[in-house]
Amino acid sequence: MAPEVSKSMYDLQVHSTVFSDLFDSREAKLRKIVGEFEKISEEVKNLHETEKMLKTAGATAAGVVGLGVSIVALLLGRVSLAAVAAIGGTAVAGSCMSNIKTVSGRAKKVQELGEEFMEIVEPIKKELEDIKKACEELEQEPVKTDKRPETSLAQVSTLKERSSGVLGAFKQRRMGINELKVLVEKAGEVSPSPEDDVKFKESIQQTAVQSQKVIDGCLSLKEELSTLVL
């Protein structure tokens, strides 16, 4: 480290490089998982057709509890496909039954992918926290000892704010995973309500959105770091 470079400046340089390298090496895996989320989200959106057909067949969207026909039950893979067919006969045949088979057990799959996503991004998140800390320390350094141009100081402040924003996206992603976990646990204890059906669908559909925000935030930050002049 050169004598004129402060420890905070050096830390920012090091963590910026590590952050960018980690993101580059893991971006493809993260995007693949987001692709899976988007696919499942689209499948869940298509459940409105299944709900309508079940209603037409005499079963409400919340389902016939004794047979476990509910959106939550579908997403948890707890539905007897034979039982569903028995409820409505030809009314739930064809595309409706295909939809049911497609989404069966999707909640567990989303949970697994969500945990995998967070495991992959954890080292990136750690470097991001260190970048934010270095920026905060640089902002506190006495002006009289700071040899950086004013534009660089402004860039450090911007970088700190962007780091905070991306860390917020990480937090939202973790909260989303935890929320789905709570919903799954609750569904195992009590009969799902229509409100639970809505919450399950919304929670699963948000996984793709939240995860994409993490990737977009990291990519934007990486580009910002590449222009940083210290």
Task: Give exposure, 36-60, as e/b (b: 16+ Cβ within 10 Å).
Answer: bbbebbeebeebeebbebbeebebe
d(CA 186, CA 188): 5
Distance CA(131)–CA(11), nearest Å, equals 8
SS3 105: coil
**pLDDT at residue 14 tops 90:** yes
| Average pLDDT along the chain | 77
Distance CA 27, CA 34 (A): 10
- pLDDT of residue 178 exceeding 70, the answer is yes
Instruction: Of 162, 119, 123, give the one whose Cα is nearest residue 33.
Output: 119
Per-residue pLDDT of 183-213, as tens digits, reads 777 766 556 666 777 777 788 888 899 999 9
Q: What is the pLDDT of residues 39-50, one digit of tens each?
A: 888 877 776 666
Distance CA(1)–CA(68), nearest Å, equals 65
Given a contact cutoff of 8 angstroms between Cβ atoms, the answer to whether 105 and 76 are in contact is yes
Nearest Cα to 65, choosing from 223, 204, 193? Answer: 193
With cut-offs at 50, 70 and 90, classify the pLDDT of residue 156.
confident
Q: pLDDT value at position 182?
A: 82
Task: Kindly indicate the confidence band of residue 223, based on its pLDDT and cuts at 50, 70 and 90.
Answer: very high
Cβ neighbors of 83 (< 8 A, separation 6 or more) are 67, 68, 69
* In contact, 230 and 13? CB cutoff 8 Å: yes
> If residue 27 lies in a helix (H) or strand (E), which one and from where to where?
helix 7-45
Question: Higher pLDDT residue, 59 or 153?
Answer: 153
E strand map for the chain: none
Confidence of residue 63 (pLDDT cuts 50, 70, 90): very low
pLDDT for position 60: 45
| Residues 6+ away with beta carbon under 8 Å from 225 | 16, 19, 20, 131, 159
pLDDT in tens, 21-44: 999 999 999 999 999 999 888 877
pLDDT-derived band of residue 96, with 50, 70 and 90 as boundaries? Answer: low
Mean pLDDT in residue range 125-151: 78
- Contact of 163 with 221, CB cutoff 8 Å: yes
Mean predicted confidence (pLDDT) in 72-100: 56
Per-residue confidence (pLDDT) for residue 118, from 0 to 100: 95
φ, ψ (nearest 5 deg) of residue 3 = -55, -35
Model pTM score: 0.77
- DSSP 8-state secondary structure symbol assigned to residue 4: T
CB-based contact 56:87 (threshold 8 Å)? no
